[in-house]
């Protein structure tokens, strides 16, 4: 029995620690290709170094936790442009808060919005299953019960929260939802948002909408966002917080820059919490971030690479029964069967590093099919350039038709 509190003892094991243990050393004579981590491999935009060099003196100062006016303004302007929001719908003073990357922001948000008790019991926080690891960490650290809701093919690879029993929904204080989702690349449409908003109205829970893959999509139409859906449905942003980041959009995962926006009452509470305990984004990096939210040229260049990669994936794997082109994002979620064995085979035969789907999900998931919804899948991150991607996918295709498949 562990004497550690559940907020750490009950955390799911890291998929990457498990992956290292599964794969071990690289196979002799082969050069490993990392298709495991969702870390963009493109160049850092040139404005990053220029702004840091110009503003380096700012590293001597404590930066404002609420963000500079320039950064909050740039984020509000981007949201308004990207989602065709009504002018003034996002007040940069009261409805935007910069984050030190969305990982910590998603984790810490639960501290601000989850009460100690809900409907006389331990509050529940609902998560998609598979999930991003900060969601259960936040739920557990704030004393809530994480409830894993399976995202299955039959539910469009998104969780069907409305199918949960009434007692759980009554105790629900917050839900995490990612659209576009990781790993499936599924996108919530207006009907999905409508259902979720109605559920939130009925049960009074907060929606924490993770949109960090919003700028990466293979087609011409950008995925809709939660603020956009709320506006289209004639709603306010009450009980709605959206999170976005420069990590994927701008290929700046190491900058650690994101934001949360939405319900002004929740943002005020979150800002108060962060004023005491939140990590600021340093001044020069706030300037870099303001510039990045204001510039689409580098984002379009990044998107062109991901589009080319998805086209290559369709060319190389499109005739396989287990292939599915994601609606957005840069992951392939492939139902090859026996995800763990498949990952091991790809590693041993071709030095391709992919993640078994089961490592990204929880076996205690609830849904029309209970159990771990990732067991039969592998996740393949297409974050390299097109040349590496084509060679890797050719090699993946040949391993998965060879003997033993």
Ligand X SMILES: Cc1ncc(COP(=O)(O)O)c(C=O)c1O
List residues binding ligand X (CB under 6 A): 38, 101-103, 132, 178, 182, 210, 212, 245, 247, 253, 258
How long a stretch of residues is the chain? 405
Give the C-alpha separation, 268 to 232, whole Å: 25
Q: Which is nearer to ligand X, 182 or 287 (CB)?
A: 182
Instruction: Name the DSSP class of 319.
Output: T
Shortest CB 60 distance to ligand X, Å: 26
Shortest CB 321 distance to ligand X, Å: 27
Instruction: Name the DSSP class of 209.
Output: E
Strands 352-353, 33-34: parallel, antiparallel or unpaired by DSSP?
A: parallel
Tokens of 63: 């930066």
Tokens 């491999």 found at = 41
Give the C-alpha separation, 66 to 11, whole Å: 30
Task: Give the contacts of 404 (CB within 8 A, at least 6 positions apart).
Answer: 345
Q: Which is nearer to ligand X, 178 or 207 (CB)?
A: 178
Give the C-alpha separation, 234 to 228, whole Å: 10
The H-or-E segment that residue 266 falls in is helix 264-277
* DSSP code string of 344-391: HHHHHHH-EE-EEGGGGS-TT-BSSS-S-TTTT-EEEE--S-HHHHHH
Q: Which is nearer to ligand X, 90 or 177 (CB)?
A: 177
Q: Which is nearer to ligand X, 260 or 317 (CB)?
A: 260
Q: Which is nearer to ligand X, 103 or 239 (CB)?
A: 103
The total of other beta-carbon atoms located within 10 Å of residue 380's CB is 27
Q: Which is nearer to ligand X, 169 or 175 (CB)?
A: 175
Shortest CB 210 distance to ligand X, Å: 5
Shortest CB 47 distance to ligand X, Å: 19
Tokens 């960090």 found at = 212
Q: Which is nearer to ligand X, 144 or 178 (CB)?
A: 178
Task: Give the contacts of 350 (CB within 8 A, at least 6 positions apart).
Answer: 30, 33, 395, 396, 398, 399
Shortest CB 104 distance to ligand X, Å: 7
Closest CA to 277 of 288, 285, 265, 269: 269
The rounded radius of gyration (Å) of the Cα atoms in the chain is 21
Q: Which is nearer to ligand X, 101 or 367 (CB)?
A: 101
Shortest CB 379 distance to ligand X, Å: 11
Shortest CB 178 distance to ligand X, Å: 5
Residues β-bridged to residue 180: none
Shortest CB 132 distance to ligand X, Å: 4
């Amino acid at each position: 029995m562990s004497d550690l509190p559940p907020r750490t003892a009950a955390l799911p094991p890291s998929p990457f620690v498990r992956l290292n243990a599964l794969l071990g050393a690289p196979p002799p004579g082969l050069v490993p290709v990392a298709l495991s981590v969702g870390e963009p491999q493109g160049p850092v935009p040139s404005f990053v170094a220029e702004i840091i060099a110009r503003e380096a003196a700012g590293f001597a100062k404590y930066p404002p936790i609420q963000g500079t006016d320039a950064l909050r303004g740039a984020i509000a302007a981007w949201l308004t442009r990207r989602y065709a929001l009504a002018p003034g719908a996002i007040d940069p003073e009261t409805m935007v808060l910069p984050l030190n990357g969305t990982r910590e922001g998603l984790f810490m948000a639960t501290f601000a919005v989850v009460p100690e008790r809900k409907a006389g019991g331990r509050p529940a926080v609902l998560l998609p299953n598979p999930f991003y690891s900060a969601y259960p960490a936040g739920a557990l650290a704030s004393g809530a019960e994480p409830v894993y809701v399976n995202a299955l093919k039959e539910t469009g690879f998104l969780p069907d929260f409305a199918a949960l029993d009434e007692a759980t929904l009554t105790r629900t204080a917050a839900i995490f939802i990612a659209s576009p989702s990781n790993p499936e690349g599924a996108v919530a449409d207006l009907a999905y948002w409508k259902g979720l908003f109605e559920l939130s109205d009925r049960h009074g829970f907060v929606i924490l909408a993770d949109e960090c893959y919003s700028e990466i999509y293979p087609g011409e139409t950008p995925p809709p966002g939660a603020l956009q859906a709320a506006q289209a449905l004639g709603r306010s942003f009450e009980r709605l917080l959206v999170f976005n980041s420069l990590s994927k959009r701008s290929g700046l995962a190491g900058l650690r820059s994101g934001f949360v926006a939405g319900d002004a009452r929740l943002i005020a509470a979150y800002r108060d919490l962060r004023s005491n305990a939140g990590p600021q984004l340093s001044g020069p990096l706030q300037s870099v971030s303001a510039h990045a939210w204001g510039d689409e040229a580098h984002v379009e260049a990044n998107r062109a690479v991901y589009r080319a990669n998805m086209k290559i994936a369709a060319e190389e794997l499109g005739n396989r029964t287990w292939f599915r082109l994601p609606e957005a994002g840069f992951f392939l979620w492939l139902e090859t069967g026996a995800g763990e064995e498949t990952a091991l085979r790809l590693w041993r035969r071709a030095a391709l590093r992919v993640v078994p789907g089961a490592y990204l999900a929880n076996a205690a998931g609830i849904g029309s099919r209970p159990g771990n919804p990732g067991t039969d899948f592998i996740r393949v991150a297409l974050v390299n350039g097109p040349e590496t991607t084509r060679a890797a996918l050719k090699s993946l295709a040949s391993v998965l038709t060879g003997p033993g498949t």
